[in-house]
């Protein structure tokens, strides 16, 4: 962009020769005195302009009648300076809060000034998320970008993160956005298999990131065609600037704790409550309590069994198993970067370490990463670039939330059970109620190590003025080694003298493209830019795995020691995309704006009849504030814009279109079995999206904002349509169904106080209404049919709506759980037979409102930045409730709220009578286990102090900043579980969301750090 | 000039890499196209192996179908103490229509039937000499699966009645696509039994008398005997059992203990699901056994109510053991052991029961057959026997092998407080299936 402006300036310079002129020179600096390189300086009303050089200096010959200089620079507010008599004019630019004059990356080497943008792109600067104590970059977007919903499935570092741009629109295909790092559409399919899927994006050191752009509407996304329907996240890494070499060192140490706890019965309560439950069951059975076959006798035997060496009647043991699952988690991060260059070569290099313990015992994440971004100017016309990042992550995984061996399932164990026997050995069943997950901590290892190379080589050639050809070859090579060893004492290794699994997965993703970019003037008042090109991508995924049992001793953990290799497999799968894309930006006088874009995509994933798809979009804008009639109005900037277009979603598995048979061996004889029904017509899922927006600024850009309305209509869904099981199949992938997301987004940025004490605020708020409009013909529901989970897809309801029986509390007469019948004519009639109750929609897992607000207060070098983030309108299903809050249906330790159980006729309570061994209201698909999921949380608070320039000079430093960051410090919610930000990693799918199942809460972390620049 | 060359180089490279449409024609690595699959004999035989594999699924004969029959009629003899909600519902007879174990039995059962139908539809590519065997095995697999499904999802077969109560959909052709014809409605119990018997009679004719671990003619006869018995057709049940016994291809093992936990079939096994340590699952082990032997937490406990049934000196009682703080069955302690489905002892007991009921002595007297398993168990030979004594012997000899609820239903006995034909003793048609197939009618009581 800067180069184009330079070129432009030179051309215009030539054109002005021969008129009456004077030469103005000066320096453009930021408020902190740093020179701004490449700032544009133009004499208003003329064509004369120049760019600043390495020192921020410029020299410009202007017509004698010019009276005003316009100075602008990306990320800074444009300024007009009156030209006086002096020929030297120094200009100080103020950093822009409005973003209106910021360049926004639009993909394929192009960028556009926000002022002239007609699409909807949310931009986040890398510095805003610099040094946040979170493992993965998406968490930086949380609460900072309008309409982008981000949720960590649980509090395990390196775990999956759910991101939904403008709502969830897909049922069977992926709903995650497309991630593009420096032009490469990267691999986001996790490779590990021994635990819950890990997040491949956690490989990225986000301190290397210059900016993140989220392409939200069709106009912005259409150039990514078949993969843009869920939004596109463009991540651009830092580049060096010519000038002195800047070294920056950042280090931080911190500690985290669970941000929420549940309250469980203590030993006395446990004994009392379960005895009560047994007595009640005996009364129901008509059996005397002292009968040897009575529940009461049975429960006493169990108490003895669960007490181990101790005597439960004496109250000797008081184990808080929840405490055993959590720990205080240390974290350390350090990074070193260097950037600089000269007029031919520019570089950015970094190395970083991030070492974060999880709050669950045994859970940890570590990342080592390096990066080198290099650009080299070979001639006036030709330049080369190479971006290369290497990273290694190491995750010490704990089993997924649905495993007995996962730490948080320890809460099911009885408080009367000692953790260890008198010899110091961990107790296991039958003393513990279930497997003691702490044994895994001592005797099992789950290591996932990934190595990743992201490399992109590019060449730019200027064919003629303003027209640049770019060729790029990119590779994303993702290698994962997932090793499991579980000794003979562990749940997994018991019975086989230990078990081990070693999995190696590799995804090689090669991407090539060639494209042209033009940016120039057609005439004095008309600007034109276009992009056109072609892209090819091929991704191959190899996996090899070996499983073995029978290990001689627990110290030998590799499969070389296994006496019995029980399974071995290697698999390969591939996909490819071949695409042609284009985009035209046109404006008249920077007032009337038009963008046309489109892409033709072909993919190996689709049926022979529908291999290629076309995805066009158009958008237009009108900068009203440039019109004479608004010149003196309240708006310093006002733009109307609108877009409509088509994007696609191709994220289904590979080869879904084919009728297939897979291997099915039996008794060591190889066999074949039908696995999939063919669908030759299978094609893209399509999203037609309308966006109407207003960008505005008032009070000389001091307050600016955006208001958007959008309507995202996703049709021809790639739906795994349930088919009659009598066919031998369960589903077929078809293009049927429709989902709509529509809503409003509001962005407001303001400099509220300006001066010595500054107060800036950035608010974003998004309202989304999600509704499933159509399914397969004749189908009005997709119900996975689980008795445990109640998320379904139902016409007229949001995706994943909770569909179950409506809990009606407890029959005061007998303590039975009751449900509303909800049958026509007798909706409010209650029943104690769960099967009689008609399922109804009970709530939605999807928030209807999400938002965040960041307030930054600064005084001299001191700054406090506070980000609140929240969601509302959603519910959470406590899937663990049927075990932990089940009025002592079985021996899981119960949450203390169960003590309110019905005891005698007339009792009014919501907790049914405790009955051991009987199901009394603990059916999971019931609103009994559904709660309001709204929350607001103090996501990030950063207090920092930046040393003043004078002190820095003495210290021979260019920068020194000390900061104290708190993550998740406060939360405001009615949810009674660990954390309302939850979707258990054991069950998470597009449909299953908002489910709590022994999921770890987010950590509450405090870190102290310092950044030093040399 | 130099720059120009580089430009053309970049351009050519990009075009070369981009302009290959055939790069979109990728083929899967782990699967083959269904058109090729039934194209030749070896593929059809491979699909037959796949049908055995489907039959051996943990939700079908890999264990759960047997376990469910024990759980559903466990009153006073066994106790479900596991955490899994779905088996507990079966045990308590409080099943929800979404009960996952019922759903999986349905889905995996019909998946097995589809594999068998794929074989049966492609028999013409199989060489003459193998055609009958391949077809017979597929028929056997289809019949035994239908038999498991009808006994759980339909009301009991009652002899001497029309048996017009709803059974299961009868599927006899392989699935090639999804259309309205895929929504098959339920046939009656009578029709389903007739189809099972027709399949087995043809399998009995077409199959060789023995066929290693695979389905054989004698296995078909043995299964026929079991089906007839369930129908109360004692004469046919007796004759089919007698045919198996008379073939002399099978013998009772000397020690009862040796019958179980086998890695390979014994001379007593007529048909068994084969497991290796690399393949297959033994869900009887999963739920009846304890962690020391690869089971879960000891989800099923054996109660005194069962143990007290054994007379003094009965060696079969010795097989029970104390593990994880309760009594356990010792029949399922081999995690990778076969799941026995039909063994010779059952044939003796069927023949004994039928002879006793019909007052005949086809093959042998009732008491002679009755004594065979008793003597092996270390008990004294009896001189006379009643039907009730044979039924008790059956309950002991075949305990925890998947017979209990079916025996109670055919003998019209109560299961706890439930009548043999109570609604709650029949599985619900899975919720997902009702949603996917509008032609299906739910069972009464759900």
How far is residue A227's CA from residue A44's CA, in Å, rounded to a whole number?
A: 43
φ, ψ for residue B229, nearest 5 deg: -60, -45
Residue B11 pLDDT level (bands cut at 50, 70, 90) = low
Residues of A within 8 A of B275 (CB-CB) are 667
Residues of A within 8 A of B3 (CB-CB) are 378-379, 381-382, 461
* CA closest to A304 among chain B residues: B325
Would strands A801-804 and A840-843 be described as parallel, antiparallel, or unpaired? antiparallel
Q: Which of B6, B56, B171 sits opposite A726 (nearest CB)?
A: B171
pLDDT digits 0-9 by tens, B161-183: 999 999 999 999 998 888 889 99
Judge whether residue A51 has pLDDT over 80: no
pLDDT digits 0-9 by tens, A447-468: 999 999 999 999 999 888 889 9
State mean pLDDT over A324-353.
92
pLDDT digits 0-9 by tens, B49-86: 999 999 999 999 999 999 999 999 998 999 998 878 89
CA distance B248 to chain A (A): 26
Residues of A within 8 A of B50 (CB-CB) are 661, 664, 666, 671-674
Residue A846 pLDDT level (bands cut at 50, 70, 90) = very high
Residue B7 to residue A576, Cβ atoms within 8 A? no
Least confident range from A367-376, A725-734, A792-801: namely A725-734
Neighbours of B180 (CB within 10 A): 8
Judge whether residue A906 has pLDDT over 90: yes
pLDDT digits 0-9 by tens, B343-385: 999 999 999 999 999 999 999 999 999 999 999 999 999 999 9
Residue A659 to residue B35, Cβ atoms within 8 A? yes
Cα–Cα distances (Å) from A205 to A200, A348, A392, B230, in that order, read: 12, 14, 10, 67
Q: Could you tell me which of B436, B260, B254 has the C-alpha nearest to residue B339? A: B260
How far is residue A516's CA from residue A533's CA, in Å, rounded to a whole number?
A: 6
Q: Which of A664, A732, A784 sits opposite B50 (nearest CB)?
A: A664
Segments making up each domain of chain B, as ranges: 39-232+403-436
CA distance A626 to chain B (A): 41
How far is residue A273's CA from residue A915's CA, in Å, rounded to a whole number?
A: 10
Residues of A within 8 A of B175 (CB-CB) are 674, 677, 727-729
Residues of A within 8 A of B116 (CB-CB) are none
Residue A926 pLDDT level (bands cut at 50, 70, 90) = very high
Residue B83 to residue A665, Cβ atoms within 8 A? no
User: What average pLDDT does chain B have?
Assistant: 92
Q: Does B19 touch chain A (CB under 8 A)?
A: yes
**In DSSP terms, which residues pair with A90 in a beta bridge?**
none
State the alpha helices, DSSP H only, in A787-888.
881-884
Residue A925 to residue B98, Cβ atoms within 8 A? yes
Q: Which of A491, A672, A835 sits opposite B47 (nearest CB)?
A: A672
Q: Which of B29, B32, B277 sits opposite A564 (nearest CB)?
A: B277
Between A201 and A15, name the one with better pLDDT: A201
Residue B14 to residue A471, Cβ atoms within 8 A? yes
Burial of B254 (0-12, 13-18, 19+ CB in 10 A): exposed
Residues of B within 8 A of A571 (CB-CB) are 29-30
Q: Which of A514, A676, A730 sits opposite B14 (nearest CB)?
A: A514
> Which B residues 354-383 touch A at CB under 8 Å?
none
Q: Does B26 touch chain A (CB under 8 A)?
A: yes
pLDDT computed for residue A25 by the predictor: 85
pLDDT digits 0-9 by tens, A500-512: 999 999 999 999 9
Residue B85 to residue A787, Cβ atoms within 8 A? yes
pLDDT digits 0-9 by tens, A673-723: 888 888 878 888 999 999 999 999 998 888 999 999 999 999 998 877 888
Q: Does B198 touch chain A (CB under 8 A)?
A: no
pLDDT digits 0-9 by tens, B199-225: 999 999 999 999 999 999 999 999 999
State mean pLDDT over A13-36.
67
Q: In chain A, what percentage of residues exceed pLDDT 70?
A: 96
Least confident range from A649-658, A731-740, A918-927: namely A649-658
Residues of B within 8 A of A575 (CB-CB) are 26
Residues of A within 8 A of B105 (CB-CB) are none
Q: Do A943 and A863 meet the contact criterion of CB atoms below 8 Å apart?
A: yes
pLDDT digits 0-9 by tens, A567-594: 888 888 899 999 999 999 999 988 899 9
Number of C-alpha atoms within 13 angstroms, CB side, residue B340? 27
**In DSSP terms, which residues pair with B337 in a beta bridge?**
none
CA distance A595 to chain B (A): 26
Q: Which residues contact A867 (CB under 8 A, 6 or more apart)?
A: A143, A144, A852, A853, A854, A938, A939, A940, A941
φ, ψ for residue B136, nearest 5 deg: -60, -40
Q: Which of B175, B280, B295 sits opposite A727 (nearest CB)?
A: B175
Residue A660 to residue B34, Cβ atoms within 8 A? yes
> Which B residues 171-190 touch A at CB under 8 Å?
171, 174-178, 182-184
CA distance B221 to chain A (A): 23
Residue A677 to residue B89, Cβ atoms within 8 A? no
Residues of B within 8 A of A610 (CB-CB) are none
Q: Which of B48, B86, B92 sits opposite A787 (nearest CB)?
A: B86
pLDDT computed for residue A15 by the predictor: 41
CA distance A239 to chain B (A): 23
Q: Could you tell me which of A748, A955, A950, A938 has the C-alpha nearest to residue A99? A: A748
Instruction: Say how far residue B343 (Cα) sits from the centre of its chain.
Output: 13
Residue B252 pLDDT level (bands cut at 50, 70, 90) = very high
**Topology classification of domain B39-232+403-436:** 1.25.40
3-state secondary structure A496-510: CCCEEEEEEEEEEEE
pTM confidence score? 0.81
Q: Which of A429, A459, A611 sits opposite B297 (nearest CB)?
A: A429
* CA closest to A883 among chain B residues: B83
φ, ψ for residue A828, nearest 5 deg: -90, 0
> Which B residues 265-294 touch A at CB under 8 Å?
274-280, 291-294
pLDDT computed for residue A658 by the predictor: 80
CA distance B33 to chain A (A): 5
Residues of B within 8 A of A602 (CB-CB) are 21, 24
Q: Which of B7, B24, B433 sits opposite A602 (nearest CB)?
A: B24
Q: Which of A429, A564, A783 sits opposite B432 (nearest CB)?
A: A783
Interface A-B, measured as beta-carbon pairs within 8 A, has a size of 293
Q: Which of B14, B96, B169 sits opposite A787 (nearest CB)?
A: B96
Domains (range + CATH), chain A: 2-93 (2.60.40.1120), 103-246 (2.170.130.10), 329-800+844-883+926-1008 (2.40.170.20)
* CA closest to A497 among chain B residues: B292
Q: In chain B, what percentage of residues exceed pLDDT 90?
A: 81
pLDDT computed for residue B4 by the predictor: 61
* CA closest to B184 among chain A residues: A726
Q: Does B39 touch chain A (CB under 8 A)?
A: no
pLDDT computed for residue A416 by the predictor: 95
Residue A942 pLDDT level (bands cut at 50, 70, 90) = very high
pLDDT computed for residue A668 by the predictor: 84
pLDDT computed for residue A14 by the predictor: 39
């Amino acid at each position: 962009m800067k180069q184009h402006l330079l070129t432009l300036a030179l051309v215009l310079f030539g054109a002005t020769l021969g008129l009456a002129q004077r030469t103005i020179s000066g320096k453009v600096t930021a408020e902190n005195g740093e020179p701004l390189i490449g700032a544009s300086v133009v004499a208003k009303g003329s064509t004369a302009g120049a760019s600043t050089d390495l020192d921020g200096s410029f020299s410009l010959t202007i017509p004698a009648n010019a009276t005003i200089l316009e100075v602008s620079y990306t990320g800074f507010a444009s300024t007009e300076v009156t030209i006086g008599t002096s020929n030297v004019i120094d200009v100080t630019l103020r950093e822009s809060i409005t973003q209106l004059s910021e360049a926004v990356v639009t993909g394929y080497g192009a960028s556009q000034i926000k002022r002239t943008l007609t699409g909807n792109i949310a931009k986040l600067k890398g510095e805003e998320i610099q040094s946040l104590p979170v493992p993965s970059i998406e968490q930086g977007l949380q609460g900072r970008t309008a309409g982008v919903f981000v949720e960590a499935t649980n509090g395990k570092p390196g775990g999956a993160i759910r991101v939904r741009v403008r709502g969830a629109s897909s049922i069977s295909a992926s709903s995650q956005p497309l991630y593009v790092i420096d032009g490469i559409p990267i691999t986001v399919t996790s490779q590990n298999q021994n635990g819950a899927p890990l997040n491949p994006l956690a490989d990225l050191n986000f301190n290397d990131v210059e900016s993140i752009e989220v392409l939200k509407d069709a106009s912005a996304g259409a150039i990514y065609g078949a993969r843009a329907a869920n939004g596109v996240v463009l991540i651009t890494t830092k580049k060096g600037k010519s000038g002195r070499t800047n070294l920056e060192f950042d280090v931080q140490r911190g500690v985290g704790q669970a941000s929420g706890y549940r309250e469980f019965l203590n030993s006395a309560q446990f004994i009392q409550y379960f005895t009560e439950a047994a007595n009640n069951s005996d009364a129901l059975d008509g059996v005397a309590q002292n009968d040897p076959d009575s529940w009461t006798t049975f429960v006493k035997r169990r108490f003895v069994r669960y007490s181990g060496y101790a005597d439960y009647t004496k109250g000797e043991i008081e184990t808080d198993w929840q405490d055993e699952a959590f720990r205080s988690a240390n974290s350390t991060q350090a990074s070193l970067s260097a950037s600089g260059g000269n007029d031919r070569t520019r570089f950015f290099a970094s190395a970083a370490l991030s070492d974060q313990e999880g709050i669950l015992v045994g859970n940890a994440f570590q990342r080592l990463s390096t990066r080198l971004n290099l650009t080299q100017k070979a001639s006036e016309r030709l330049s080369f670039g190479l971006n290369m990042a290497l990273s290694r992550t190491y995750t010490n995984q704990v089993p997924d939330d649905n495993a007995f061996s996962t730490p948080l399932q320890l809460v099911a164990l009885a408080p009367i059970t000692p953790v260890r026997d008198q010899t110091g050995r961990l107790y296991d069943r039958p003393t513990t109620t279930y497997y003691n997950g702490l044994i895994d901590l001592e005797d099992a290892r789950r290591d996932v190590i990934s190595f990743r190379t992201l490399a992109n080589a590019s060449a730019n050639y200027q064919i003629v003025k303003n027209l640049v050809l770019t060729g790029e070859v990119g590779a994303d090579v993702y290698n994962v080694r997932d090793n499991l060893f579980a000794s003979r004492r562990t749940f997994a290794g018991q019975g086989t003298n230990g078990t081990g699994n070693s999995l190696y997965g590799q995804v090689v993703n090669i991407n090539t493209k060639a494209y042209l970019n033009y940016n120039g003037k057609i005439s004095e008042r008309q600007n034109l830019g276009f992009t056109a090109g072609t892209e090819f991508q091929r991704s191959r995924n190899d996996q090899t795995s070996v499983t073995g049992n029978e290990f001689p001793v627990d110290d030998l953990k590799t499969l070389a020691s296994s006496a019995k290799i029980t399974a071995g497999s290697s698999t390969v799968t591939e996909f490819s995309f071949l695409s042609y894309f284009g985009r035209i930006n046109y404006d008249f006088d920077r007032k009337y704006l038009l963008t046309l874009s489109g892409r033709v995509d072909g993919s190996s994933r689709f049926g022979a009849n529908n291999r290629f798809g076309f995805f066009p979009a158009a958008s237009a804008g009108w900068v009203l504030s440039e019109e004479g009639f608004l010149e003196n109005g309240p708006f310093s900037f006002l733009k109307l814009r609108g877009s409509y277009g088509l994007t696609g979603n191709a994220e289904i598995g590979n080869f879904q279109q084919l009728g297939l048979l897979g291997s099915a061996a039996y008794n060591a004889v190889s066999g074949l079995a039908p696995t999939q029904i063919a669908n030759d017509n299978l094609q893209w899922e399509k999203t037609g999206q309308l966006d109407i927006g207003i960008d505005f600024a008032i009070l000389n850009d001091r307050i600016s904002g955006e208001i958007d309305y959008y309507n995202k209509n996703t049709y021809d869904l790639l739906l795994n349509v349930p088919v009659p099981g009598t066919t031998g199949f369960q589903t077929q992938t078809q293009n049927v169904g429709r989902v709509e997301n529509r809503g409003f987004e509001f962005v407001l940025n303001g400099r509220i106080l300006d001066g010595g004490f500054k107060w800036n605020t950035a608010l974003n708020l998004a309202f989304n209404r999600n509704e499933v409009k159509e399914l397969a013909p004749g189908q009005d529901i997709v119900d996975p049919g689980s008795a445990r989970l109640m998320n379904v897809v139902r016409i007229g309801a949001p995706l994943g709506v909770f569909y179950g029986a409506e809990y009606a509390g407890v029959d005061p007469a007998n303590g039975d759980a009751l449900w509303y019948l909800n049958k026509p004519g007798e909706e409010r009639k209650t029943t104690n037979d769960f099967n009689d109750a008609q399922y109804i929609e009970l709530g939605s897992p999807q928030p209807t409102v999400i938002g965040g607000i960041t307030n930054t207060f600064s005084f001299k070098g001191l700054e406090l930045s506070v980000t609140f983030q929240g969601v509302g309108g959603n519910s959470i299903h406590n899937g663990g409730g049927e075990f932990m809050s089940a009025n002592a249906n079985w021996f899981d330790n119960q949450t203390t709220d169960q003590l309110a159980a019905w005891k005698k006729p007339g009792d009014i309570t919501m907790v049914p009578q405790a009955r051991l061994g009987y199901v009394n209201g603990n059916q999971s698909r019931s609103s009994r286990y559904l709660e309001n999921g709204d929350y607001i949380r103090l996501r990030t608070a950063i207090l920092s102090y930046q040393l003043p320039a004078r002190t820095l000079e003495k210290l021979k430093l260019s920068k020194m900043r000390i900061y104290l960051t708190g993550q998740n410090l406060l939360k405001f919610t009615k949810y009674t579980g660990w954390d309302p930000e939850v979707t258990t990693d054991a069950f998470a799918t597009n449909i299953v969301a908002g489910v709590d199942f022994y999921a770890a809460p987010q950590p509450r972390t405090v870190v102290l750090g310092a950044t030093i620049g040399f | 000039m130099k720059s120009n060359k580089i430009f053309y180089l970049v351009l050519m490279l990009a075009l070369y890499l981009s302009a290959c449409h055939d790069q979109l024609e990728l083929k899967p690595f782990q699967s083959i196209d269904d058109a090729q699959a039934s194209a030749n004999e070896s593929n059809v035989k491979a699909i037959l192996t796949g049908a055995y594999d489907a039959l051996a699924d943990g939700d079908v004969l890999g264990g759960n179908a047997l376990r469910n029959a024990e759980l559903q009629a466990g009153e006073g003899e066994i106790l479900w103490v596991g955490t899994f909600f779905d088996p507990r519902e079966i045990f308590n007879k409080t099943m929800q229509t979404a009960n996952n174990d019922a759903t999986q039995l349905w889905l995996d059962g019909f998946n097995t039937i589809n594999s068998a139908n794929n074989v049966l539809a492609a028999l013409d590519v199989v060489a003459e000499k193998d055609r009958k065997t391949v077809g017979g095995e597929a028929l056997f697999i289809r019949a035994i699966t239908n038999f498991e499904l009808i006994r759980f999802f339909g009301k009991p077969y009652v002899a001497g009645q029309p048996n017009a109560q709803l059974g299961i959909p009868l599927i006899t052709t392989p699935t090639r696509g999804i259309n309205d014809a895929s929504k098959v409605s339920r046939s009656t119990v009578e029709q389903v039994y007739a189809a099972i018997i027709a399949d087995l009679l043809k399998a009995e004719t077409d199959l060789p008398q023995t066929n290693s671990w695979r389905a054989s003619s004698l296995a078909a006869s043995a299964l026929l005997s079991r089906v007839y018995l369930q129908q109360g057709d004692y004469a046919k049940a007796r004759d089919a059992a007698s045919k198996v016994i008379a073939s002399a291809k099978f013998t009772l093992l000397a020690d009862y203990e040796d019958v179980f936990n086998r890695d390979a079939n014994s001379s007593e096994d007529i048909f068994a699901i084969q497991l290796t340590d690399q393949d297959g699952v033994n869900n009887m082990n999963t739920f009846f056994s304890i962690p020391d032997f690869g089971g879960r937490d000891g989800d099923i406990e054996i109660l005194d109510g069962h143990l007290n049934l054994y007379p003094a000196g009965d060696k079969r009682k010795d097989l029970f053991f104390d593990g994880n703080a309760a009594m356990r069955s010792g029949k399922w302690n081999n995690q990778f052991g076969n799941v026995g489905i039909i063994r010779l002892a059952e044939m003796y007991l069927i023949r004994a029961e039928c002879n006793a009921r019909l007052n005949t002595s086809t093959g042998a007297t009732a008491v002679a057959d009755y004594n065979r398993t008793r003597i092996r168990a270390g008990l004294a030979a009896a001189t006379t026997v009643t039907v009730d004594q044979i039924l008790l012997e059956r309950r002991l000899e075949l305990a925890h092998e998947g017979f209990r609820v079916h025996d109670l239903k055919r003998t019209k006995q109560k299961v706890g407080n439930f009548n043999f034909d109570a609604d709650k003793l029949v599985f619900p048609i899975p919720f997902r299936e009702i949603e996917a197939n509008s032609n299906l009618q739910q069972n009464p009581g759900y």
